[in-house]
């Protein structure tokens, strides 16, 4: 089939990131009018024709109203489908509800599947996201689901700014061990693991035990997401108790809900490195370093548009 023109349409959740992506693709954001009716319903009107074009709808699922961000993206996708777009890709730098990828107990939903189903029903032919919380989410979509990883951006920054000869990569829990091993492999470092204990009475999870040697070393705690900051701050405190010389945190998705930034400011962290898949809160923190994923996303969009291998961008390391 004849290739259509590349069109990037942005929602209102993270316009700065969308503009950077469009600039790197040597194009402008497709004009779209987004507004809300008095009762909160989202109204969408595409400013120009997308008939026969390849459309990429970029919307990160950010708070404070994450549900509106997701619905807004679905509405834009539906508008593009009804306007006869050739193909529609839903680009979600941060996919909402990704933590709810399975049933933890009886009578619970699998909400990550529901989010994917909504995008599919709206008309998305493809979904693209950065650092999914769990690999099985890709199987929720009956079509191409492109998984991008922020690790190359983060590893490049670490190599350029820190001496890794005395560094230990730390997993904050058992679920992040594989990701930690990949960071350790690329940085040629040892690893350590923090074991979390769940109290049977309160069901509260606490970082309790450390496996590995961190005394006198620079520690890098790796996690895909920092929400309230409780778990990763507790992990930093354990490392400090065991004699870590410097402590850094790394995350792809800086959710930073509630008093997370205040908690990090008062913590044992020297710095926390986060990418901009989500807009940073208005509250500033001297300990937060932000890295742009716009080059990563623009390269991925270009590869999809031109029919090239997405895995080649990440040397095949974007699989779980």
Q: Name, in order, each residue with C-beta under 8 angstroms of 207's C-beta and a sequence gap of 6 or more.
A: 172, 173, 194, 195, 196, 231, 234, 235, 237, 238
Q: What is the pLDDT of residue 231?
A: 87
- 135 CB contacts (<8 Å, ≥6 apart)? 147, 319, 320
Provide CB contacts within 8 A for 82, sequence distance 6+.
Answer: 123
Nearest to 274 by CA among 293, 257, 251: 251
Residue burial 123-136, b: 16+ Cβ < 10 Å; e: rest: bbbbbbbbbbbeee
pLDDT band at 1 (very low <50, low <70, confident <90, very high): very low
In eight-state DSSP terms, residue 140 is G
Q: Which residues are catalytic?
A: 196
- Does the global pTM surpass 0.85? yes
For 22-55, write each residue's pLDDT tens digit: 999 999 999 999 999 999 999 999 999 999 999 9
CA distance 13 to 227: 17
- Indicate the SS3 state at residue 318: coil
Which tens digits make up the pLDDT trace of 202-251? 545 565 789 999 999 999 999 999 999 988 999 999 999 999 999 999 99
Average of per-residue pLDDT values in the chain: 93
- What gap in Å lies between CA 223 and CA 14, rounded to an integer? 22
Residues 6+ apart with CB under 8 A from 201: none
Give me the percent of the chain exceeding a pLDDT of 90. 84
CATH of domain 151-291: 3.40.50.2020
Q: Identify whether the C-beta of residue 249 lies closer than 8 Å to the C-beta of residue 269.
A: yes
Mean pLDDT, range 295-314, rounded to an integer: 94
pLDDT, position 316: 76
Residues 218 and 248: beta-carbon distance below 8 Å? yes
- The Cα–Cα gap between 239 and 237 comes to 5
Q: How far is CA 163 from the centre of its chain?
A: 26
Domain 6-149+294-313 annotated CATH 3.40.50.2020: yes
In the chain, domain spans: 6-149+294-313, 151-291
Q: CA 132 from chain center: how many Å?
A: 7
% residues pLDDT > 70 (the chain): 95
| 6-149+294-313 and 151-291 share one fold | yes
Question: Which burial class, exposed, middle or buried, applies to 242 when counting CB atoms under 10 A from its CB (0-12, 13-18, 19+)?
Answer: middle
């Amino acid at each position: 089939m004849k290739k259509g023109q590349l069109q990037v349409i942005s929602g209102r959740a993270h316009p700065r990131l969308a503009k950077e992506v469009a600039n790197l693709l040597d194009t402008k954001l497709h004009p779209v009018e987004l507004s809300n009716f008095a009762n909160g319903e989202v109204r969408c009107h595409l400013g120009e024709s997308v008939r026969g074009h390849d459309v990429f709808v970029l919307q990160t699922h950010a708070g404070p109203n994450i549900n509106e961000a997701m619905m807004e993206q679905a509405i834009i996708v539906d508008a593009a489908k009804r306007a006869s777009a050739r193909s529609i890709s839903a680009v979600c730098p941060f996919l909402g509800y990704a933590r709810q990828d399975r049933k933890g107990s009886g009578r619970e939903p699998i909400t990550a599947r529901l989010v994917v189903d909504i995008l599919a029903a709206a008309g998305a032919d493809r979904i693209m996201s950065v650092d999914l919380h769990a690999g099985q989410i890709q199987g929720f979509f009956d079509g191409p689901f492109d998984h991008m990883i922020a690790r190359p951006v983060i590893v490049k920054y670490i190599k350029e700014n820190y001496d890794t000869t005395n560094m230990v990569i730390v997993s904050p829990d058992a679920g992040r061990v594989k990701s930690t091993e990949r960071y350790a492999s690329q940085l040629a470092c040892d690893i350590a693991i923090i074991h979390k204990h769940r109290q049977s009475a309160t069901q509260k999870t606490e970082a309790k035990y450390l496996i590995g040697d961190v005394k006198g070393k620079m520690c890098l705690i790796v996690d895909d997401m920092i929400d309230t900051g409780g778990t990763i701050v507790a992990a930093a405190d354990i490392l400090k108790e065991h004699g870590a010389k410097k402590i850094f945190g790394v995350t792809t998705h800086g959710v930073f809900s509630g008093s997370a930034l205040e908690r990090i400011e008062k913590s044992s962290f020297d710095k926390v490195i986060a990418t901009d898949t989500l807009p940073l809160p208005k509250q500033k923190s001297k300990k937060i370093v932000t890295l742009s994923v716009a080059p990563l996303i623009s390269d991925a969009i270009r590869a999809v548009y031109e029919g090239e291998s997405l895995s080649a961008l990440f040397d095949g390391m974007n699989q779980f």
